[in-house]
Amino acid sequence: MISAAGDAGVDPVRAKRAARERALAARDALQPRARARLSAAVCARAAALPEARRATAVLLFASFRSEVDTAPLLQAFLERGVTVALPRVRGPRDMEGVLVEDPAADLVSGHCGIPEPHGGLPVVEPERFDLVVVPGAAFCVDGARCGYGGGFYDTYLPLLRPGVPRVALAFEVQVVDELACEPHDLRVDVIVTETRVIRPQKPAGGRGD
């Protein structure tokens, strides 16, 4: 675990940017073989989650650069007969979930070079999902999430049915002990790393979203 704690009174935007940079630098420093091995462990833990076992329709994400490789998890869901959708960007802070049945044929290079479903594939409406797996740069043990700054998930997640679990995949080097947040930042319910499953406790009277 790395620290993203800041001094009292520090601008949360600057503090979050610094946390993102540190976490991404640590993630990028992982050697490819180690990253592949750790990714397999993360995906195995995620696939075994009760939320994943119960899921019938999942919004997943396609890995980019040094992210946890989600290919094993995608394959596990497809083999179980789960409906799987991946994000496709429509515009600033605007994405949709699109059905993927054959990753090799269905994915093309999209927004910022991130793999996404090509045009013509069916859109899966947000209310169909009973699990969403989210990416991110840094995560705190209390469920706070620092994304990449695009705001796509902060806009999309509120469209889901209330109570749909939000599961984050991360390497341990992305987990911090404190993370500055802004009002629009949404939290996750579960964080899965190569060594553990973190289930943050929702604060009494907190939004929990």
For the chain, the structural domain boundaries read 12-198
Q: Say whether 72 sits in a helix, a strand or coil.
A: helix
CATH of domain 12-198: 3.40.50.10420
CA 166-182-171 angle, to 5 degrees, is 45
Low-confidence residues in the chain, pLDDT < 70: 1-10, 202-209
For residues 84 and 75, give the distance between their C-alpha atoms in angstroms, rounded to a whole number: 10
Burial (CB < 10 A; 0-12, 13-18, 19+), residue 91, is exposed
The answer to whether residues 86 and 117 touch, using CB atoms and an 8 Å cutoff, is yes
Record the pTM: 0.89
